[in-house]
Chain A
């Protein structure tokens, strides 16, 4: 069924090799993966499996040592630092386990951060940020600083920040890892909504319960993709 959709990400036989002293570590070993429009994928694997490396490469924070990575037909694996930065800015929304909000900025200002590196005017940036906060249901917390918000609210600000650039994919790294089960459930429900609204979501997790929420599950072990269903 997925085949009928438009392919966003095409990863072909990528490897990532680290040299730690004399040791050669293959974090990724000829992994291949395609991600389509409106996918809702979970990537699972134990620590040391290459899960983080795969996520970093998908998120254009890193490039593979071998193999090709195409993002909407653009060849990411050959790009330089500032080209990668532009791809991250325009096409990828990040959600982190530890939220990574800037403590001195309020909610709107935090959501605005990605837009600062785009070419929007000040007014447009503010409008877009407010709109994104509205979507996550925090319209009444605009001027609150992160330390005045609960964990769930902070993660929602972070999701608003991921959404504000209208990205092609949203990449969430253990998004419920630092939340209690109630707030976590709230966030996962919100991901369901985002998926229904047409967004493409990738959740990296080691929790089976979280992984099960996704429509498509990918497992990785020893740098190889062992399951894709």
Chain B
């Protein structure tokens, strides 16, 4: 053990003597480690953000829409589908075993303004029951609209968390009146601010929710309807099948006809997202793999130079009693040290950037301690694989020839 340490120290001394060469050589590994860390950290951060966003759609809700929630673009299959109609809810209410609550969700985007400020907002028209179906967000100020307000088509709205900042300079929006498509509505509730989200269709912070009756009355613009169905998480898949059947009945489809609607849930996004995530990770790891191989070759090259340069020293050390293993350890530790230096710089860069990102851009980036450990392992592995051949060459040198080397 003692002799191993002594030989490692000799190897490390060689690093100090050639610090510039070592720094340049380890650069490849720095880049490799940097990429792998950024990819890993990035993917896990996106993952977390996505999970947060997905919570809004809930794992206990079904959405009946014209289009499926997917990133495939077989639009010709779907473009002739009839619009979703609120009337279908009657069938679902009547026949469904698993659906516990329902609401229509009318969607449109429109310019809204308050005094001289204007902004595009997403408008949802829903039932009073939707207030209890909110997930991933909640009312933090004020209240949801009541059945009475719905019945009377009252012009009351609940707004997303960013509206306060956009229109009212941070003041409470409750009781304020804004204009939506030229109609004045009163804000009675405010949703929790979500932050930057990854939900398709934009952030929830610019959302305006109103009674669907009011929506029908004041907004005649382009838009589309969806049906939101509440069920239990464990019943989600059964409910999905059941709702599809009921929808077929509601639409009087013959057995040979395909569905002309889609029953969606958050897990559809999840699987889309998973494949996207896999693609990102695969790309990242490929880049990393290439840079690691290139840097391993670089280290090997420098080690060969180092062995060549110090042939005479190797001969002398062997004449003085160094065994082949002593020399092997000396050069292997030099290679591993170069590798670890590269990796350490890489990790330091990643750390620097994650700190910068989360403090300036407000983007939360995960930085894992385990990552440092894995990096260390990778570096040791690369050091050994790239240093082994040169170190063996050095160890097997004939002391007589090596001593004669000029």
A interface vs B, CB < 8 Å?
Answer: 56, 59, 61-62, 81-82, 85-86, 88-90, 94, 96, 100, 102, 104, 113-114, 116-119, 161, 165
Task: Assess A86 versus B320: contact at CB under 8 Å? Given A61-B399, A116-B6, A116-B10.
Answer: no
Chain B residue at smallest Cβ distance from A88:
B321
- Count of interface residues, chain B, beta-carbon cutoff 8 Å: 22
Q: Which residues of B contact A165 (CB under 8 A)?
A: 321
* Chain B 78-105 interface mask (CB, 8 Å, partner A; 1/0): 0000000000000000000000000000
B323 engages A85 (CB within 8 Å) = yes
B320 engages A117 (CB within 8 Å) = yes
Does B313 lie at the interface of the complex (its beta carbon under 8 Å from any beta carbon of A)? Answer: yes
Q: Which residues of B contact A100 (CB under 8 A)?
A: 312, 316, 403
Count how many pairs of residues, one from A and one from B, have CB atoms less than 8 Å apart in the complex: 58
Of B17, B321, B322, most buried by chain A (CB within 10 Å of CB) is B321
The answer for the CA separation of A82 and B72 in the assembled complex, in Å, is: 67
Q: Which of B3, B316, B323, B324 contacts A102 (CB 8 A)?
A: B316
Q: Which residues of B contact A56 (CB under 8 A)?
A: 400
Chain A residue at smallest Cβ distance from B17:
A104
> What are 28 A-B contacts defined by CB distance under 8 Å?
A56-B400, A61-B318, A61-B399, A61-B400, A62-B400, A81-B323, A81-B324, A82-B323, A85-B318, A86-B321, A88-B319, A88-B320, A88-B321, A89-B321, A89-B322, A96-B403, A100-B312, A100-B403, A102-B313, A102-B316, A104-B13, A104-B17, A113-B320, A114-B320, A116-B10, A117-B3, A117-B320, A165-B321
Does B326 lie at the interface of the complex (its beta carbon under 8 Å from any beta carbon of A)? Answer: yes
Chain A residue at smallest Cβ distance from B310:
A102
Minimal beta-carbon separation of A225 from chain B (angstroms): 21
Q: Which residues of B contact A104 (CB under 8 A)?
A: 13, 17
Does B325 lie at the interface of the complex (its beta carbon under 8 Å from any beta carbon of A)? Answer: yes
Minimal beta-carbon separation of A204 from chain B (angstroms): 14
The answer for the CA separation of A61 and B402 in the assembled complex, in Å, is: 11
B interface vs A, CB < 8 Å?
Answer: 2-3, 6, 10, 13, 17, 312-313, 316-326, 399-400, 403
Q: Which residues of B contact A59 (CB under 8 A)?
A: 319
The answer for the CA separation of A90 and B3 in the assembled complex, in Å, is: 15
Chain A residue at smallest Cβ distance from B313:
A102
Cβ-closest 6 pairs across A and B: A89-B321, A114-B320, A117-B321, A82-B323, A85-B323, A88-B321
Minimal beta-carbon separation of A84 from chain B (angstroms): 9
Task: Assess A61 versus B321: contact at CB under 8 Å? Given A102-B313, A104-B17.
Answer: no
Chain A residue at smallest Cβ distance from B322:
A117
A85 engages B322 (CB within 8 Å) = yes
The answer for the CA separation of A117 and B318 in the assembled complex, in Å, is: 10
Given contacts A62-B400, A96-B403, 20 further A-B contacts (CB under 8 A): A56-B400, A61-B400, A81-B323, A85-B322, A85-B324, A86-B321, A86-B323, A88-B319, A88-B321, A89-B322, A100-B316, A113-B317, A113-B320, A114-B320, A114-B321, A116-B10, A117-B3, A117-B323, A117-B326, A118-B321
Minimal beta-carbon separation of A115 from chain B (angstroms): 9
Chain B residue at smallest Cβ distance from A114:
B320
The answer for the CA separation of A61 and B321 in the assembled complex, in Å, is: 10
Q: Which of B13, B312, B316, B325 contacts A113 (CB 8 A)?
A: B316
The answer for the CA separation of A114 and B10 in the assembled complex, in Å, is: 13
The answer for the CA separation of A56 and B315 in the assembled complex, in Å, is: 13
The answer for the CA separation of A161 and B320 in the assembled complex, in Å, is: 9
Minimal beta-carbon separation of B302 from chain A (angstroms): 18
Chain B residue at smallest Cβ distance from A82:
B323
Q: Which residues of B contact A119 (CB under 8 A)?
A: 2-3
Q: Which residues of B contact A61 (CB under 8 A)?
A: 318-319, 399-400
A94 engages B2 (CB within 8 Å) = no
The answer for the CA separation of A73 and B9 in the assembled complex, in Å, is: 36
Chain B residue at smallest Cβ distance from A125:
B6
